[in-house]
Structure 1
Amino acid sequence: MFGKKKQPPIKSLIAHGTEIHGDVRFADGMRVDGAVHGHLLAHSEAPTLLVISEAAKVVGEVRAGHVIINGEVHGPVCATELLELQPKARIQGDVSYRALEMHQGATIAGQLLPLGEGALDKPTLKLAAIGG
């Protein structure tokens, strides 16, 4: 689906109970279970993966190739490939994406902005089915 490629490995973790104040730049994959008050930015031309778990809270910009959110984000989100919004995702900010998968229960308080040529004509959207 969506021409999914092999995901980059998650090499970085911001654990539950950890709070970071400042920007975080990463390559490959990163998982956030704690709190970040700053930007989370992938700095690689290679494929990148960012997972923001149910327990996580990010106040700042989020930018990576493949972004999976099930927590809280206050700031703009940009997924240059695929944005997956899980049921407990809460976003307050504009969302840019090439492809979007949004589960029932996820909320966005902001604009949806498709990326790429002709994106305003035919954005790739997928509504995830309940239970699968």
Structure 2
Amino acid sequence: MFKPKTPKTTDVWSKESAAASAATAAVTPSALTYIGAGSEVHGDLRAAGNLRVDGTIFGTVQVDGDLEVSTTGAIEGKQVSARSVLVHGRIKAKVHATEQLRIHGQGQVEGDVTAQSLDIEAGAHFTGYSRTGMTQEPEVLQLDHEAQVPEPNQAQGDPDIRSAV
């Protein structure tokens, strides 16, 4: 009366499986990429989830989630971007964090940073320019090139003083 059900086989190389895996990865922000101590990566790296660096990366790093650079970790490159960045080790690059950048203990960041918030713990080192609390790029003002610059005030004899007319 009842027949045993035959298990459905799945071709792991099929396009449907690949699409399902990609969709699952896209909704799993807790996916972790790990660069172990003693490991080196030469070239650009993009991580769909979170990234922990105990080794060294030479190149641009783009992380959709959170980035943690441990005390043994280092990144040297053109740019590092992530949702939040926690530095116990060393970063030598331009850093963009959409939420926060935290430099702890003996952490070092050398390069310009953009973040919603910046936290530098006592003992940590930061060298560069910082832009914080901004949700979007600042508007660039256009100069009026046809505006006339007043001539120096010759009556007072000082060419560095200009009168407003």
Which of these two proteins has the greater Rg computed from alpha carbons?
2
Higher relative contact order (CA 8 A, sep 6+): 1
Quick one: distance in 1 between partners of 2:83 and 2:44? 17
Residue 108 of structure 1 is aligned with which of 108, 113, 126? 126
Residue 99 of structure 1 aligns to a residue in which SS? strand
Residue 54 of structure 1 is aligned with which of 60, 63, 71? 71
Quick one: distance in 2 between partners of 1:71 and 1:111? 19
Quick one: distance in 1 between partners of 2:116 and 2:82? 11
Quick one: distance in 2 between partners of 1:80 and 1:34? 24
Note closer, same or farther for the CA distance 1:37–1:64 as it changes in structure 2 (3 Å cut). same
Contact 1:54-1:70 at 8 Å conserved across structures: yes
Kindly state the Cα deviation for residue 9 of structure 1 after the two structures are TM-superposed. 2.4
- Matched residues, number: 108
Identity of aligned residues (%): 31
Kindly state the Cα deviation for residue 52 of structure 1 after the two structures are TM-superposed. 0.5
Gaps of 5+ in 1: 1-7, 120-132
Contact 1:86-1:106 at 8 Å conserved across structures: yes
Residue 35 of structure 2 is aligned with which of 14, 27, 30? 14
Kindly state the Cα deviation for residue 89 of structure 1 after the two structures are TM-superposed. 1.1
Contact 2:103-2:109 at 8 Å conserved across structures: no
Code of the aligned partner of 2:125: T
Quick one: distance in 2 between partners of 1:24 and 1:36? 8
2:23 maps to none
Quick one: distance in 2 between partners of 1:91 and 1:82? 14
Q: Cα RMSD (Å) of the superposition?
A: 1.8
Residue 33 of structure 1 is aligned with which of 46, 54, 59? 54
1:80 maps to 98
Residue 113 of structure 2 is aligned with which of 85, 95, 117? 95
After superposition, the C-alpha distances for 1:25-67 in whole angstroms (9 at most, x for unaligned) are 011211000000001102x4xxx11001110111012100011
Larger helix share, 1 or 2: 2
